[in-house]
Amino acid sequence: MSTTIVAATMTVKITESIKLNGQQQGGSQTFTIGSINEVYKRILTCPANNETTVASFHGEVYSDDSTVDKENVKYIRVTNLDGAESLTLSLQIDLNEDDSAADESASLLLGPGQSFVMGTPHDAINVADDAATVLTDLMDLESILVQPGSNAIDVEVFVASI
C-alpha cells in the first residue's frame, strides 16, 4: 500500500501554573515522540450507569472496530470533559497477553476536566491484589473503559501511533 501520510514529531507539553505568595510554584514539562503517522481522536458521551469502552488495544487491528495496534501506540490521553462530575476510568489488563480478553483491571477516579496520560499499552501495566509490591513484569493494556456513574459524561480520547 502506498501512502501520502508523512510521519511527524508530536510535542506534548504539561503545564501547572500557580502563584503562591507572589512566587510561581508551577512547572512545565515538554517531550516529543517521533515518527507519529496515525492518530485516533474521539469525543463521545458515556451514558449514565453504563461502562463504555473508549479505546481497545490488540495485536490484530482488524479484530474489533476502533482497535489500535498495541505495539505501535506511543501516547494515550483520556480527558473528562465534564465541568462538575467525576468518572471512574478502568484500565483493562490482558495478563495472558493473548489478545482474547482482559483478566484484571485497575480503576482510578478522574475528576472534572482532568486527564489520564500514559505511553504505550504494550508491556506497560500490571496489578497484584495479594501484596503491595512493585511489579516489574509488565503486561498489555487491553482496553480503557469509562463508568460515569449516575450522569452521562463527555470524554475525549487521543491516541498517537507510529
What SS3 state is found at 5? coil
Neighbours of 135 (CB within 10 A): 11
Residues in CB range of 64: below 8 A, 6 or more apart: 56, 58
- The domain ranges of the chain are 38-161
Q: pLDDT tens digit string along 137-157? A: 999 999 999 999 999 999 999
Q: Shortest CA distance to 148 belongs to which of 67, 72, 88, 82?
A: 88
Q: pLDDT tens digit string along 45-65? A: 999 999 999 999 999 776 677
Q: Are 70 and 61 in contact (CB under 8 A)?
A: no
Q: Which amino acid is at 5?
A: I
Query: Which residues of the chain are under the pLDDT cut of 50?
Result: none
The CATH number of 38-161, from 3.30.450.20, 3.40.50.620, 3.40.630.10, 2.60.120.10, is 2.60.120.10
The verdict on pTM exceeding 0.85 is: yes
